[in-house]
Structure 1
Amino acid sequence: MPSAAEIFLRQLGASGVEYFFANGGTDFPPIVEAYAALEGSNHRLPRPMTVPHENAAVAMAHGVTMITGKPQAVMVHVNVGTANTVNGLLNANRDHVPVFVLAGRTPYAEKGRHGARTRNIHWAQEMFDQASMVREAVKWDGELRQPEQAADLVTRALSIAMASPRGPVYATLPRDTLAAAADAAMVREPAAPPAVPLPDPAALEAAARMIAAAERPLVITSAAGRTRAGFDALSAFATRFAVPVISFTPRFVNIAADHPMHCGYEPGPLLAKADCVIVLDTDVPWIPHLQGPPEGSRVIHIGEDPLFALYPMRNFPLDLAITGTPAAALAGIAAALAPLLPADAAVVRRRAEEYGALSAAQRAAWKESVAAPPTGPITPEWISHCLAEALDEDAIVVNEYPLRQTHCPRTQHGSFYGQSTAGGLGWGFGAALGAKLAAPDRLVVATLGDGAYVFNNPTACHWVAEAHGLPVLVIVFNNGMYAAVRNSTLAMYRDGAAAKAGGELLADLRPAPAFEKLSEASGGYGERVTDPAELPAALRRAIAVVTQEKRQALLNVVCEY
């Protein structure tokens, strides 16, 4: 008779889960036994992968899913392991990533049952409501209360995770229940995920009328490129109707950086003149304290959750909200707008010429600013430029804050991924490892600030890279501080007492460790770079190590910003 653990793993495999990222504990023996018992069988199972920190495990699952679109599983040790997943779950929640996080639970039985409590921690680690730690960060949580529910728990959790809008889910697995025989449990092919809601045709027509009446419409997006369909739809819409696009805090390649209607990364100048703003799958389209559209401008919000209902406070101007994917909504608006705005209309021709020139001028200015190495310390703009020169179009860049996209333009869909809007540090390295797992033939580069690198549990991540054969390139932008903390202090108190010391209190990370040695400790290549002129050659050496020797590499680039 199969155990609940065996049925659970088989159902994960049948549901398309490819990886089981695990940070084990005393609640794992039924899982270990189930994998051993099923070895050599013809059952489809997720590949078990040891990851020695929970935050890295969740980030790896996130990274696989952002490449493949398929949900992955993570299992951690009871409540203490769950606590270490919260950061990653918050990132996944705000980024609509369907990660299935599992945690053991103290055995219910104190004695007399297989899997009952056998260690003192089995009493101390029990909570009245373990899932309460993550409830606000997940779409659903449950528990395996009966062994016969093993398959049903998986299908229920994954169905909800994949429903629009997608997001993480959580379940607890008591050790004694997991070890019990699952008498009536049946593994079955999962049902297709619920269909994504289609946008309301009347709303699409209303949006088309607003855009047709506008002289200076503007698209602001951070996540239209989450899917290839969204990228293609936005590119076609911007081209056909000559609507400029701002990629504000982008997490994906939403539109090619060299597209004539791509007008940069800051909304301010164009937003100030826009008479119709299309907020496309973006939680924060601008900072109201600093900027906003002019009075009378019409504002359209589009997304699977256009109101971001889980945000306690979010009040941007709103004339029309359209529920739907960017691809479906833009296609519907385009169909309704085409008869109202012919391709040869004077306003379309004017916008194409004006914004095309603006886009070209921006790109030229950004390129000119890095025409030669800086005469002083290395800058993040120079690092980004050198990286752009070293990478091919197919390389994947996973950025946790420091990359300057103005100087490292990405044109191919799926070649750039940025940090979740939740901002939980410690994501980029693990996500890059997950991306490499999902795309083994592509060069994967993680660009991390030095503070973010430390949050990434680098010893664990470098170990994973070596143990699981995942050669990635890590570039640490090492400015010796939390720049975000310093800059926020100076922005609020520019003339205050803290500014007299440069705003560096509680932001200073000096003396900086020799980060390159951590890569070397796990069989990788490491190099410290301080001379701007030496950076291109250092990048070539590191990329050769990753692509030819199939070893991980890290460049510790000392810079100022």
Structure 2
Amino acid sequence: MYTTSTAFLDALQEAGVSYIFANFGSDHPAIIEALANAKARGRSLPRLVTCPNEMVALSAAHGFAQVTGRAQAVVVHVECGTQSLGGAVHNAANGRIPALIFAGASPFTQRGEMFGSRNEYIHWIQDVRDQRGLVRGYVKHDNEIRTGHNVKQIVRRAMQAAHSDPQGPVYLVGAREVMEQPLNEEERESHSIPLSASALAPADAAYVANMLTDAKMPVVVTSYLGRRKAAVPELVALCQRLAVGVIESVPCCMNYPQNDPMYQANQWNEALQNPLLAEADVVLIIDSDVPWIPTINQPSPSARIVHIDVDPLKERMPLWSFPVERSYRADAATALRQINDILQAMPVNPQVDRRRSRLVTAHNERRRLLRAKEPLADPAGVVTPEALTTAVRERLDLDALVVNEGISNYKTIIDHLELSRPGSMLCSGAGSLGYNGGAAIGAKLARPDQFVACLTGDGSYMFSAPSTVHWMARHYETPFLQVIYNNRGWKSPKLSTQALRPNGAAGRRDGIGVEFDPPPDYAGIAAAAGGAFARTIKRAGELHQALDEAFDVVRTERRCAVLDVWLQAL
């Protein structure tokens, strides 16, 4: 029988979906039946990946989309499964990640009026007033499948929204009776195409080019330009030509090669004024939600500031105000290519060479200071985050993918990995912890031949549902290395408290409700759930051998390896 569910699955296949990350419930019999029939008949459909936890399901789709640029499908159970997605929906929305989420809805008949009518008590208690409203504040588009006759149009429209800038998750619901509706098999239909990348108006491109050329100390600030891999070489070309320093503000991807001398810094929440930003007379913000934190770090009041962004209005942020002179909605790669084309025909400002020399000196000094922090301490002492990251870096393949959810060690990880390849680092781009494990699975499904390293704090490891992650990793053959930066607690809340109340009682004492000491056996959880190689490292002298063994296990035995590395406690 060809049903709405069959047509829905066909529409996903036609839209280029490779995987359905599913957590099935009582509202999905028609989808389960359609999948079983397709398998029995040898019909091609997206591959089913069973996900015992919804956060992991959407995080896996998130990681896959970051690597490939293509939205995947996530299927969850009515409002319960939708609510369980909450943190992952926040991440996908703020990270601008395309994904199609489908949730069933409680049957709308109760006496057998239609096939699929209510036959379990949960069908009454899971019938809520506005199920779509649970995620409406986060998704780009939501809709209900009311009939099977236009289900392919509904899916095509949703995928078009998901893939159009600014990208994001979309949400569809369908009641059981509708998903069971018999249909005549329809002709294959092409999916709706996303909107083309937007460009600057020629006059605006010339305005930005002239502003940068005439500047004494221009600076670029970015956070997520590297999501568009093609934008990175364009930014490099611009900065090298004009000797423009690059500052990353809370970076969530590899935006600029750290081995290039124009790379100057990445800044997070540290209470420090960036000297280059303070000196800049022209600031180009390109693809950044928070270019600086005004209470602690900002440019000179006289600086001229221009903003180019795929999402310049920040429509999902009720409060967003930075003193920009001009703001443009444009694709970073397209806009930078336009500016570079104009710059090629313009004479180079004679002060560029002097500025370049100064930036090279600052870049080299920064690297010298970082290198001084990298050696391991006394073998009997604890491992430092800098030494741990360096040891991982020294073993990574050139084409490795790094999933970074280091939280209080975000900056350390980025500083000491020194990545230079576009697309080499994946972060959630948002603030709901637990993305890392599912994202590693999604990244590995997208690139089976690439080495995936997942670097996470101990708090974010617990949020990631590691028993689900490592069961899935073994079952679906997605081996990755997971390194836990274990400081025995949530360090970030303690740092936030100390930043606001540096002399407060909480900053001077332990036992403030953020400690996990003694911690769970994090590596043992992965071993029990998924047969992972598991080691706990408490002394610096144990690190190198454990890392060698772990890398070898992932590469040759093709199973996960989890290293629980104890750092200095909170």
- Under a length normalisation based on structure 1, what TM-score does the superposition of the two structures give? 0.97
With 302-311 and 460-469 compared, the bigger mean Cα shift is at 302-311
Q: Does 1:265 align with 2:257?
A: no
Q: Does 1:309 align with 2:310?
A: no
Q: Deviations over 1:103-155 (max 9, x none)?
A: 01001121222111110000100011101010010001011111212211111
- Quote the Cα distance in structure 2 between the aligned partners of 1:324 and 1:340: 23
Q: Does 1:418 align with 2:422?
A: no
Cα offset for 1:186? 4.4
The equivalent of 1:49 in structure 2 is: 49
Cα offset for 1:191? 3.0
Q: Deviations over 1:239-287 (max 9, x none)?
A: 1111111122211111111011111213712101011111110000111
State the AA in 2 paired with 1:531. R
Which of 457, 472, 475 aligns to 1:467? It is: 475
The equivalent of 2:270 in structure 1 is: none
Q: Deviations over 1:466-492 (max 9, x none)?
A: 111111111111101111100001111
Cα offset for 1:429? 1.0
State the AA in 2 paired with 1:22. A
The equivalent of 1:454 in structure 2 is: 462
The equivalent of 2:366 in structure 1 is: 362
- Quote the Cα distance in structure 2 between the aligned partners of 1:126 and 1:106: 5
Q: Does 1:532 align with 2:537?
A: no
Q: Is the 8 A contact 2:197 2:334 kept in 1?
A: no
Structure 2 counterparts to residues 401-440 of structure 1, below 5 A: 401=407, 402-403=409-410, 404=412, 405-420=414-429, 422-440=430-448
Cα offset for 1:227? 1.9
State the AA in 2 paired with 1:407. H
Q: Is the 8 A contact 1:76 1:102 kept in 2?
A: yes
Q: Is the 8 A contact 1:478 1:559 kept in 2?
A: yes
- Quote the Cα distance in structure 1 between the aligned partners of 2:443 and 2:296: 36
- Quote the Cα distance in structure 1 between the aligned partners of 2:274 and 2:363: 15
- Quote the Cα distance in structure 1 between the aligned partners of 2:154 and 2:192: 14
The equivalent of 1:16 in structure 2 is: 16
- SS at the partner of 1:270? helix
State the AA in 1 paired with 2:179. L
Deviant stretches of 4+, over 4 Å = 40-43
- SS at the partner of 1:240? helix
- SS at the partner of 2:266? coil
Q: Is the 8 A contact 1:60 1:430 kept in 2?
A: yes
- Quote the Cα distance in structure 1 between the aligned partners of 2:220 and 2:522: 40
With 410-419 and 166-175 compared, the bigger mean Cα shift is at 410-419
Q: Is the 8 A contact 1:151 1:185 kept in 2?
A: no
- SS at the partner of 1:219? strand
Q: Is the 8 A contact 1:322 1:329 kept in 2?
A: no
The equivalent of 1:519 in structure 2 is: 526
With 199-208 and 125-134 compared, the bigger mean Cα shift is at 199-208
- Under a length normalisation based on structure 2, what TM-score does the superposition of the two structures give? 0.95
- Quote the Cα distance in structure 2 between the aligned partners of 1:146 and 1:398: 40
State the AA in 1 paired with 2:525. L
Q: Is the 8 A contact 1:374 1:382 kept in 2?
A: no
With 258-267 and 544-553 compared, the bigger mean Cα shift is at 258-267
Q: Deviations over 1:54-110 (max 9, x none)?
A: 000000000000000011000000000000112111111111111101101001121
- SS at the partner of 2:265? coil
Q: Deviations over 1:18-47 (max 9, x none)?
A: 100001111111111001112255654111
Q: Is the 8 A contact 2:63 2:426 kept in 1?
A: no
Q: Does 1:396 align with 2:401?
A: yes
Cα offset for 1:184? 7.3
Q: Is the 8 A contact 2:376 2:383 kept in 1?
A: no
Cα offset for 1:461? 0.6
Structure 2 counterparts to residues 95-134 of structure 1, below 5 A: 95-112=95-112, 113-134=114-135
- Quote the Cα distance in structure 1 between the aligned partners of 2:345 and 2:233: 21
The equivalent of 1:494 in structure 2 is: 502
The equivalent of 2:382 in structure 1 is: 377
Unpaired runs of 5+ residues, structure 2, are 268-272
State the AA in 1 paired with 2:419. R
- Quote the Cα distance in structure 1 between the aligned partners of 2:427 and 2:241: 28
The equivalent of 1:329 in structure 2 is: 335
Q: Is the 8 A contact 1:150 1:182 kept in 2?
A: no
The equivalent of 1:282 in structure 2 is: 288
The equivalent of 2:352 in structure 1 is: 348
* Structure 1 residues 84 and 341, CA gap change in structure 2 (3 angstroms): farther
Which of 515, 518, 527 aligns to 1:508? It is: 515
Q: Is the 8 A contact 1:56 1:461 kept in 2?
A: yes
With 48-57 and 146-155 compared, the bigger mean Cα shift is at 146-155
- SS at the partner of 1:264? strand
- Quote the Cα distance in structure 2 between the aligned partners of 1:364 and 1:500: 33
Cα offset for 1:307? 2.6
Q: Does 1:150 align with 2:151?
A: yes
- Quote the Cα distance in structure 1 between the aligned partners of 2:378 and 2:26: 54
Cα offset for 1:338? 3.8
Cα offset for 1:225? 0.8
Cα offset for 1:359? 1.0
Cα offset for 1:197? 1.9
- Quote the Cα distance in structure 2 between the aligned partners of 1:551 and 1:35: 28
Q: Deviations over 1:151-186 (max 9, x none)?
A: 111111101111111110001121111011124754
% same residue: 34
Q: Deviations over 1:211-257 (max 9, x none)?
A: 12211000111111112211111111111111111122211111111
Q: Deviations over 1:348-386 (max 9, x none)?
A: 111221111211221122112213435742221111111
The equivalent of 1:248 in structure 2 is: 249
The equivalent of 1:33 in structure 2 is: 33
The equivalent of 1:223 in structure 2 is: 224
- Quote the Cα distance in structure 1 between the aligned partners of 2:427 and 2:2: 42
- Quote the Cα distance in structure 1 between the aligned partners of 2:439 and 2:51: 13
The equivalent of 2:89 in structure 1 is: 89
State the AA in 2 paired with 1:73. A
- Quote the Cα distance in structure 1 between the aligned partners of 2:497 and 2:186: 57
User: RMSD of aligned C-alpha atoms?
Assistant: 1.5
- Quote the Cα distance in structure 2 between the aligned partners of 1:351 and 1:399: 33
The equivalent of 1:239 in structure 2 is: 240
Aligned residues: 557
- Quote the Cα distance in structure 1 between the aligned partners of 2:385 and 2:535: 17
Cα offset for 1:447? 0.7
Which of 283, 291, 297 aligns to 1:291? It is: 297
The equivalent of 2:5 in structure 1 is: 5
Q: Is the 8 A contact 2:245 2:264 kept in 1?
A: yes
State the AA in 1 paired with 2:386. E
Unpaired runs of 5+ residues, structure 1, are none
State the AA in 1 paired with 2:80. V
